[in-house]
Amino acid sequence: MCVGSIARLVESWEDEGTRIGRLDDGCVVPLSFVPDAPPGAHLLLHLGIPVEVLDPDAAREAVALRAAGAAEANRTRS
């Protein structure tokens, strides 16, 4: 089973012919699989590597579901 995560691309640049980006958590990642991702886009990460640019509505829904799941998990632990 794969557990993907979502991050927002904050900035991007070229480094020796490779497109690189900084995510909202501060991680710097290669953008080889998503070379046209604009800053501000939400990316689906697999093992920390961006593999897909998410539709803005789908990204908002996924982030909201993740937050709701985390809140429920914290509530049931208490």
CATH number at residue 43: 2.30.30.140
How would you write 6-70 as a 3-class SS string?
EEEEEEEEEECCEEEEEECCCCEEECCCCCCCCCCCEEEEECCEEEEECCHHHHHHHHHHHHHHH
For 57-73, write each residue's pLDDT tens digit: 988 898 888 888 878 77
pLDDT number for residue 67: 84
> In terms of pLDDT, which residue wins out, 1 or 28?
28
pTM: 0.81
- Range of the structural domain that residue 16 is part of: 5-77
For 12-69, write each residue's pLDDT tens digit: 999 999 999 999 999 999 999 999 999 999 999 999 999 999 999 988 898 888 888 8
Domain count, the chain: 1
Query: Which secondary-structure segment (H or E) carries 4?
Result: none
